[in-house]
Structure 1
């Protein structure tokens, strides 16, 4: 090709066609420049493609790390739920005048679970690698960047909190071991299998589990303070994983709005919100229970709603939103006398599901005698509004503890969804 152009130039020069020669030379230069630019463009495009593949490779590693974190958080939440729901039984059993071997096994199971609690160890290897390679700069000013920093900041907070709790329990155990209770760990182990050993240590063992040191440990885990953090970690983590799966760097407005709601503590800005678009404020704790234990009712957080799935063949099951005590008060409460109504936005999985809305003050017994309002669900979101004083006369609004509780007495089981719960002044 070069030889061909050279031949044309020589011919034009030989024929003394200077203007044509220059026009041709300029054209040839332009063609060469265009060729170089095209080559550079192709090279740049190829380089960007390579860098893009590397970036998503790093992000895919982060996605795997996050999934492992969420699995770990789910396991931890299950154990903390178990401890919280079994605490009343522990209080009851430890003071029984006729303490049996079965009681011993149940209290020991609670104590072993309590002091065997694991810490939370998020896998940050993928994120740290991304930061050290310089590829983090390619995420600048994107939702992906925001979500990643939110996620790993929260993961560190959870890790620090769990380590503090572990240290707290270790200190209590060391303090307890300073006292000679009159039996050894070996005898405690044998007592579960040998009734004779159990009878020998029974009274001494009951004295130990009634000691103030055990009170502090059990009280601190008589509620599942971890659940709000678990829901937030789950939501942000799944949002990141979804973006990575679709290779998107920008999330939906709804996703980012929900993330910002998780970052808000509604304790100071207004106590009327119990659930906002599926987000539970940090000042609210969620509990589940049934006649067969807490694990018969599955509670999950989704993008903009909460899901409760109740197993069949239960006499009753309940999902409860209570004022979070943060370990200071087992039945913390708030004053809701300024409010007139409560509205709940719900829907059922199949439609026709029947449940009851219940409110309790801090002094109401947990025996099902509280006032309740009946609700029948449809498959579409519906808002149900109730008068606080007419529908819930047993709940003293000055000391409201359970801000909303959904009670189900359906032997068939069901799934229902909660999007908003709000107290209204008008």
Structure 2
């Protein structure tokens, strides 16, 4: 094709047809420009298709991770609520003059197993971290969804930091309480290390140290309640994000 156009150009020059040559040259330039524009359009179309596919893959991953987070948060709340029930039961038993020795000791056991645990915040952020670190966040074309995602994962960090601060606040109170009262003798998995146990002795110890035990339980009660409230808020926000992502994937 190039040789064909070159032959025409030489023929016009040899025949001294300057006017026709100029018209031909202009036409040739126009054809080249049109060819370049077409090539650019094809390239842009290909890039757009790649971007759409990439966006879809990222959205699918975000959707999967957020659904996984919902289950994680609900399980965390369930564990914390179970712990709160043991705290409430310990308070009831220690404050009751009619509570039996075995019920008081059993309540202490349950508190140490379930109520004295600290809330653990974990979430799936690998896809968003990938989007942020690689600069691919702009792949998500819907700016409203993009902004919502940024705020959503900022909330993840906020709650994780809040849980960390609460835990660090409680630990200095928890450690000496555990050591000074030998509370591990009430914990079923470690009780055997203390040799033969005396139920009456344990029950009287718990009654005499009632305020100290309830104070420690109250710390965990407050931490767990606060964590549950934050997790419920995050579940609500995560459901909103899931709805937005699913709506975007339908387009």
Query: What TM bracket, shorter-length normalisation?
Result: 0.7 to 0.9
Matched pairs, number? 244
Cα deviation, 1:271-326, whole Å, max 9, x if unaligned, reads xxxxxxxxxxxxxxxxxxxxxxxxxxxxxxxxxxxxxxxxxxxxxxxxxxxxxxxx
Structure 1 residue 151 and structure 2 residue 147: aligned? no
Q: Do the aligned partners of residues 65 and 243 (structure 1) sit closer, same or farther apart at CA in structure 2, a change above 3 Å counting?
A: same
Question: Does the CA contact (< 8 Å) of 1:72 and 1:120 recur in 2?
Answer: no
Match of 1:132 in 2: 133
Cα deviation, 1:139-162, whole Å, max 9, x if unaligned, reads 598112321222122112211222
1:379-394 → structure 2 map (5 Å cutoff): none
Match of 1:6 in 2: 6
Match of 2:184 in 1: 185
Question: Does the CA contact (< 8 Å) of 1:101 and 1:195 recur in 2?
Answer: no
Which runs of no fewer than 5 residues in structure 2 stay unpaired? Answer: none
Match of 2:93 in 1: 93
1:270-285 → structure 2 map (5 Å cutoff): none
Structure 1 residue 23 and structure 2 residue 23: aligned? yes
Which runs of no fewer than 5 residues in structure 1 stay unpaired? Answer: 251-426
Cα deviation, 1:186-245, whole Å, max 9, x if unaligned, reads 465348xx996433422113334x133532532652683344433332233233334444
Question: As a proportion of its length, which structure holds more helix?
Answer: 2
Higher RCO, 1 vs 2 (CA within 8 Å, ≥6 residues apart): 2
Structure 1 residue 163 and structure 2 residue 164: aligned? yes
TM-score, scaled to structure 1: 0.49
Q: Do the aligned partners of residues 211 and 44 (structure 1) sit closer, same or farther apart at CA in structure 2, a change above 3 Å counting?
A: same
TM-score, scaled to structure 2: 0.76
Cα deviation, 1:5-61, whole Å, max 9, x if unaligned, reads 334444545555443333233212211111111112212332343344444444444
Match of 1:50 in 2: 50
Structure 1 residue 80 and structure 2 residue 80: aligned? yes
Question: Does the CA contact (< 8 Å) of 1:62 and 1:127 recur in 2?
Answer: yes
Match of 2:175 in 1: 174
Report the RMSD for the aligned CA atoms in angstroms. 3.4
Whole-angstrom distance in 1 between the partners of 2:80 and 2:245: 31
Larger Rg: 2
Whole-angstrom distance in 1 between the partners of 2:145 and 2:205: 57
Question: Does the CA contact (< 8 Å) of 1:147 and 1:236 recur in 2?
Answer: no
Question: Does the CA contact (< 8 Å) of 2:104 and 2:206 recur in 1?
Answer: no
Whole-angstrom distance in 2 between the partners of 1:124 and 1:50: 24
- Per the alignment, in what secondary structure is the counterpart of residue 122 of structure 1? coil
Whole-angstrom distance in 2 between the partners of 1:86 and 1:58: 42
Q: Do the aligned partners of residues 186 and 82 (structure 1) sit closer, same or farther apart at CA in structure 2, a change above 3 Å counting?
A: closer
Cα offset for 1:165?
Answer: 2.7
